[in-house]
Amino acid sequence: MTKVFFYDTKIGKVGIGQEEQAITNLFFYGTSSPKEYLLEETELIAKAAEQLGEYFAGKRKIFELPLSPSGTDFERSVYAALSNIPYGKTKSYSDIAAEISRPKAVRAVGTANGKNPISIFIPCHRVIGKNGQLAGYSGGLDVKEILLDLEKSN
């Protein structure tokens, strides 16, 4: 069963989830959470929350956590590509499609990006439209803009 604990952050309340020995979820309060979970702050969840706080304070650019996102093989390949986007940089959906050797799968990349179960830790907020415009984010475009601005200022 997923263990979840909630934290207040500069972008609002977030839940961090853990299964076995890995972080499996970061969700925004009021959005979909695991259907069943145990409210418990584990050592790993507390460590993830601490690193998230350091990120928001501009003191952390790389997360050092075991992550285990659920998803299809294709989705996990997208998540791996997202994890390689450097702090403060952005890429387009077509860039990600090319990186996973599926250049025609731009829309599928967008769908996978939207299903990312571990937002921020797997930085789907760093993916923008080819025209440079912000496009969809599970926490809302205002949160995406806050995250991108935070990274640009650091």
Q: Are 137 and 124 in contact (CB under 8 A)?
A: yes
Q: Which of 124, 147, 148, 150 is catalytic?
A: 124
* Distance (Å, whole) CA 116 – CA 124: 7
Count of other CB atoms within 10 angstroms of residue 8: 9
Q: Are 127 and 96 in contact (CB under 8 A)?
A: yes
* Distance (Å, whole) CA 88 – CA 97: 20
- Two tokens, residue 45: 């969840």
Residue 69 bears catalytic tag: no
- Two tokens, residue 42: 């584990």
Catalytic residues, which ones?
124
